[in-house]
Amino acid sequence: MELLRKLEILADAAKYDASCASSGTDKRDSRKGGLGSTEGMGICHAYAPDGRCISLLKILLTNACVFDCAYCINRATSNTPRARFTVEEVVGLTLDFYRRNCIEGLFLSSGIIRDPDYTMEQLLRVVRSLRLDHGFHGYIHLKTIPDADPGLITEAGLYADRLSINIELPQAASLAALAPEKNFADIHTAMGSLRGQIADAKEARRTEGRAKAPRFAPAGQSTQMIIGADASDDATVLGASVGLYQGYGMRRVYYSAYSPIPDASAVLPPRAPPLVREHRLYQADWLLRFYGFGLQEIVAGGEAGMLDLAIDPKLAWALKHRETFPVDVNSAPREVLLRVPGLGTKTVGRILATRRHRGLRADDLARMGVRLTQALPFLVAVDHLPRQLDGLHLRARLTPAPVQASLF
């Protein structure tokens, strides 16, 4: 099969993984040899019309797979065309795209062929060649096979910036039903082991100095959950996320709306992906991590364990807690300001810095990047007192006009 056709098949097979981050690893460059650099900040080199960024060359080594996960286009019983790259082909494509400045590096994953150790070893051959034969300093994200030999995982951590194992679904029962070969508990065990090694390497670098310490995935680990393939509600999804962030120090939990795939399994026939739900989950995820909200608070903003799809979760929470508003933008502490709709972490920082010098007015807030329509009903400023906080129409006024139905 010619290389172009293989690339089409194996990129198509990889596109359901939402992860694209290329940030947060150690700083490297090529002035002393090799190719490439990482400078902390990730770079999105292109955007596809699906709105997703293209930062890494995201491909599978092969889409042949002995697992039969119902949600996956590459499952064993799918009729999708199969292909397999050679190690040299992946290395060649990565280096060529990198020299063109099209990518930050490689995100390599694979279907399970033969057994987990064999598959992991094939992935390792690619990254070993990139790092050792070609002095490649770009970013590498490697999908980790949960049951592979610990020695292989340790080597993977030596070359990869980030390792990831997908949790796939938020509950053990869903995973058992849709991915019979995968095991919820085994996935947690593997994540626990990655967390331990990542933490050990970080600690060793801090205490022994950079030169001596062994490297292990300096950009940490991440995972992905498919949304809408099983019946789990948002409370379950977010509960699982909180456990993953806290228990395993995840850098990111990605939510991927289950998307119609060609050649879908009879268990999960094609239907529109719940894109708004995915968006609301990301917003909730941010509120949990950076805005001091608790899981119960976020979930209570919606109804029956599901987030409100019409408005964002912070506004939903605020509308249900009108008694805590309005707050005075000139005196409220940081953690209170973070809960005001329309204020982000950056704008709150600017408010705190500026109000040390003078009282803030509404048009000051506009210049600082505050979204006034959202924020003003909840804020008091020098020249502003909100009136409509008790009004029944507040929700209607703040709900964005429904977008025209798309596609179906």
Measured from the CB of residue 392, what is the shortest distance to another protein in angstroms? 32
Chain-centroid distance, C-alpha 216: 20
Residues 132-151 binding another protein (CB under 8 A) are 147
Q: Which of 210, 321, 334, 367 binds another protein (CB under 8 A)?
A: 367
Residue with tokens 């804020």: 379
Nearer to another protein, 172 or 391 (CB): 172
The H or E element that residue 232 is part of is none
Order of all β-strands in the sheet with 162-164: 56-60, 105-109, 139-143, 162-164, 221-227, 252-257
Q: Which of 16, 121, 215, 384 binds another protein (CB under 8 A)?
A: 16
64 binds another protein (CB under 8 A): yes
44 binds another protein (CB under 8 A): yes
Residues 228-257 binding another protein (CB under 8 A) are 239-240, 242-243, 246-248, 257
353 binds another protein (CB under 8 A): yes
Distance between CA atoms of 324 and 320, rounded to whole angstroms? 10
CA neighbor of 241 nearest in space, from 216, 210, 278: 278
Measured from the CB of residue 82, what is the shortest distance to another protein in angstroms? 8
> Bridge partners of 136?
35
Judge residue 361's burial from the number of C-beta atoms within 10 Å of its C-beta, 0-12 exposed, 13-18 middle, 19 or more buried. Answer: middle
Nearer to another protein, 29 or 388 (CB): 29
Q: Which of 34, 305, 344, 386 binds another protein (CB under 8 A)?
A: 34
404 binds another protein (CB under 8 A): no
Measured from the CB of residue 394, what is the shortest distance to another protein in angstroms? 26
Q: Which of 30, 154, 345, 388 binds another protein (CB under 8 A)?
A: 30
Q: Which of 1, 102, 177, 382 binds another protein (CB under 8 A)?
A: 102
Q: Which of 23, 54, 322, 336 binds another protein (CB under 8 A)?
A: 54
Nearer to another protein, 50 or 390 (CB): 50
Nearer to another protein, 56 or 394 (CB): 56
300 binds another protein (CB under 8 A): no
Measured from the CB of residue 36, what is the shortest distance to another protein in angstroms? 6
Distance between CA atoms of 328 and 339, rounded to whole angstroms? 12
The full 3-state SS of 341-403, as one line of letters, equals CCCCHHHHHHHHHHCCCCCCCHHHHHHCCCCHHHHHHHEEECCECCCHHHCCCHHHHHCCCCC
88 binds another protein (CB under 8 A): no
Nearer to another protein, 150 or 214 (CB): 150
Do residues 275 and 257 touch, judged by C-beta distance below 8 A?
yes
Q: Which of 24, 76, 328, 344 binds another protein (CB under 8 A)?
A: 76
29 binds another protein (CB under 8 A): yes
Token pair in block for residue 121? 């070893």
Do residues 242 and 295 touch, judged by C-beta distance below 8 A?
yes
